[in-house]
């Protein structure tokens, strides 16, 4: 019938010219095409399946940048643009999502074989971007489903939960944050199912309500005095002075070599060291974020410590102009009585909050696990007893009388009491073996994944805000987390050895349909742009509007 020729790229060869002879039967008019090109390269695409998978794995699993991928492919004789890499990455997600969709029955069987699933729900967003919500099974550690919704209102979440229930059945239990929308949706879709809230989210909300107002006031007061700017000016002025005064530079070198143990240091060097120490307040943080870490409060405490050091200096050292300057800058803040009162109130509340953290054995005050803290491996009954003692202590009873913030804290503890302490769940594996499963106390599995995704995009773009990225991101992007799970990979491969072979089995029409669905707003065609950008185009439009239309 004809010979079809096209250029494609494969990892083994690089750019290759494919000649396909298409035959037909004169009697039955059947057309016969070769299956080989379709196993190598998707229809209408110039990049082979192995290039597609290579890009997807490099970008989402190995966290490589587009430029790194571009350089590696170039070394394999595959020239490719950054834009093409972005396109292939999206196509990789679409293929993975379709393979996941076609394997849902087997995934459900796997969950049933394990005795059921514990459903974790969480979402992420940036600015005015949509909320990307994911559902994950804690036992198998796989993402089950994803959705993009305008907001975390219950009416948006309910259809998503109904979809999960229809596809995977009713979960053993649920774990999620304290969002009103999630709580309402879960109650409606899964009535009677054990439902627990994340301990980390619970503590975060408690702390924020307890002393969030004081923290904002401290931050605004410090900003009003411009203390950080003043300290940086002192540091900069002294660094310039060190370059012209060898005795100062030598004094600093001696201090640094002795790792701060020496007491004999020139006053200007002391001013330099103290200023830098105050500015380095964030080094005391444990990586939990507010309200667990209070950077502005730590900064204020360092100011207070520095002021006491300056006050205890000898009269000779106090005469140094940089010591005088530093003393003046710090004194303005430390002598503010309103700020003193706010700090005192906050310190009292932080002390009480830290007692609750200790009782719940998660994100403890001196902990170093940061946002990856899943809590200490302690029996839930032990935690429950400790929180009961905290809740009924004399300190809390007297605090309630003094401040309504404590009353609100106790009310929150009482409100979510039944959702905080989960007993182990009895699970039957393979219809014979019974085991006890303790639901995780946090939503950290999904939180970590969202952080990894954001970190990956930030490192590649260099932009802190991911508003546009999340808007453009395909909803099923979190499925790439599953590729680190061998059992999941075996299921979606469906008997094939590689993802390339599995993707080649998927109907290309479905892929094109999904890609088109996710395209969103299209760029203005070049021909149209050419006309639109003509000089005085608006006047041409005005004339056209006055011209009568004839049919």
Dihedral sign, CA of 199, 201, 206, 207? positive
Domain ranges of the chain: 2-101+493-517, 104-198+443-475, 199-425
446 pLDDT higher than 80:
no
66 pLDDT higher than 60:
yes
Q: How far is CA 423 from CA 35, 96, 435, in A?
A: 56, 36, 13
Name the token pair of 229: 């700017």
pLDDT in tens, 263-322: 778 889 899 999 999 999 999 998 888 999 999 999 999 999 999 999 988 888 889 999
Q: Which residues are within 8 A (CB) of 87 and not within 5 positions of it... i.e. 6 or more apart?
A: none
pLDDT in tens, 350-391: 999 999 999 999 988 888 787 777 778 788 889 999 999 999
The pTM (predicted TM-score) of the whole model is 0.78
Name the token pair of 328: 């003046």
- CA pair distance 408, 97, nearest whole angstrom: 44
Quick one: how far is CA 124 from the chain centroid? 7
pLDDT in tens, 19-49: 888 898 988 888 888 878 788 888 778 888 9
DSSP per-residue codes, 301-319: HHHHHHHHHHHTS-HHHHT
521 pLDDT higher than 50:
no
Mean pLDDT of the chain: 86
3-state DSSP assignment of residue 190: coil
10 pLDDT higher than 50:
yes
Q: What is the CATH number of domain 104-198+443-475?
A: 3.30.420.10
pLDDT at 92: 94
Q: Token match 């072979």: residue?
A: 501
Dihedral sign, CA of 489, 490, 491, 495? positive
Q: Are 184 and 131 in contact (CB under 8 A)?
A: no
Q: Are 443 and 122 in contact (CB under 8 A)?
A: yes
Q: What is the dihedral of CA 415, 416, 421, 426, to 10 degrees?
A: 110
pLDDT at 540: 67
- CA pair distance 473, 133, nearest whole angstrom: 12
3-state DSSP assignment of residue 485: coil
Where b means 16+ CB within 10 Å and e means fewer, 243-278 reads eeeeebeebbeebeeeeeeeeebbbbbbbbbbbebb
* Share of residues in the chain with pLDDT > 90 (%): 48
146 pLDDT higher than 70:
yes
pLDDT in tens, 420-430: 887 777 777 76
Residue 77 DSSP symbol? T
pLDDT in tens, 77-117: 999 998 899 889 999 999 999 999 999 999 999 998 888 89
Dihedral sign, CA of 434, 435, 438, 439? negative
pLDDT at 549: 46
Q: Can you state the angle between helices 404-415 and 337-360, rounded to 10 degrees?
A: 20
């Amino acid at each position: 019938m004809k010979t079809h020729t096209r250029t494609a790229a494969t990892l083994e060869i690089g750019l290759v010219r494919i000649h396909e002879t298409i035959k037909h039967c004169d009697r039955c008019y059947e057309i016969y095409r070769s299956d080989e090109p379709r196993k190598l390269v998707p229809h209408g695409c110039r990049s082979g399946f192995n290039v597609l998978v290579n890009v997807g794995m490099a970008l989402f699993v190995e966290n490589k940048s587009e430029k790194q991928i571009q350089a590696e492919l170039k070394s394999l004789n595959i020239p490719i643009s950054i834009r093409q890499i972005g396109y292939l990455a999206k196509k990789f997600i679409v293929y993975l999502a379709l393979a996941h969709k076609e394997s849902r029955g087997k995934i459900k069987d796997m969950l049933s074989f394990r005795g059921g699933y514990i459903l974790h729900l969480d979402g992420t967003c940036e600015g005015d971007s949509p909320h990307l919500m994911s559902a994950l099974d804690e036992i198998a550690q796989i993402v089950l489903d994803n959705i993009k919704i305008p907001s975390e209102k219950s009416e948006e979440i309910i259809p998503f939960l109904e979809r999960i229930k229809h596809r995977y059945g009713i979960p053993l239990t649920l774990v999620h944050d304290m969002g009103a929308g999630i709580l309402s949706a879960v109650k409606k879709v899964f009535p009677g199912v054990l439902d627990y809230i994340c301990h980390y989210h619970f503590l975060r909300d408690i702390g924020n309500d307890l002393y969030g107002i004081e923290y904002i006031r401290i931050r605004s007061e410090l900003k009003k005095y411009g203390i950080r700017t003043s300290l940086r000016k002192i540091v900069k002025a002294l660094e310039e002075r060190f370059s012209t005064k060898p005795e100062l530079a030598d004094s600093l070198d001696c201090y640094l070599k002795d790792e701060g143990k020496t007491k004999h240091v020139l006053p200007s060097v002391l001013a330099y060291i103290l200023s830098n120490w105050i500015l380095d307040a964030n080094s005391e943080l444990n990586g939990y974020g507010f309200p667990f870490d209070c950077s502005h409060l730590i900064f204020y405490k360092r100011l207070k410590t520095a002021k006491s050091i300056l006050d205890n200096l000898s009269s000779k050292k106090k005469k140094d102009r940089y010591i005088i300057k530093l003393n003046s800058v710090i004194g303005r803040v430390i002598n503010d009585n309103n700020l003193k009162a706010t700090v005192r109130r906050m310190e009292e509340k932080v002390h009480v909050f830290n007692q609750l953290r200790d009782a719940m054995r998660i994100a403890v005050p001196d902990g170093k696990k940061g946002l990856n803290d899943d809590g200490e491996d302690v029996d839930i009954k032990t935690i429950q007893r400790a929180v009961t003692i905290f809740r009924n202590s004399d300190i809390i009873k007297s605090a309630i009388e003094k401040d309504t913030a404590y009353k609100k804290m106790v009310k929150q503890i009482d409100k979510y009491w039944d959702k905080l302490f989960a007993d182990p769940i009895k699970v039957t594996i393979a219809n014979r073996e019974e085991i006890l499963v303790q639901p995780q106390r946090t939503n950290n599995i999904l939180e970590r994944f969202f952080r990894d995704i954001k970190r990956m995009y930030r490192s590649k773009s260099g932009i802190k805000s991911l508003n546009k990225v999340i808007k453009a991101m395909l909803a099923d992007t979190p499925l790439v987390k599953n590729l680190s799970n061998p059992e999941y990979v075996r299921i979606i491969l469906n008997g094939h050895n590689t993802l390339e072979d599995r993707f080649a089995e998927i109907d290309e029409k479905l892929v094109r349909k999904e890609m088109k669905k996710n395209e969103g707003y299209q760029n203005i065609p070049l021909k149209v742009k050419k006309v639109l950008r003509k000089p005085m185009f608006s006047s041409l439009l005005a004339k056209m509007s006055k011209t009568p239309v004839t049919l």
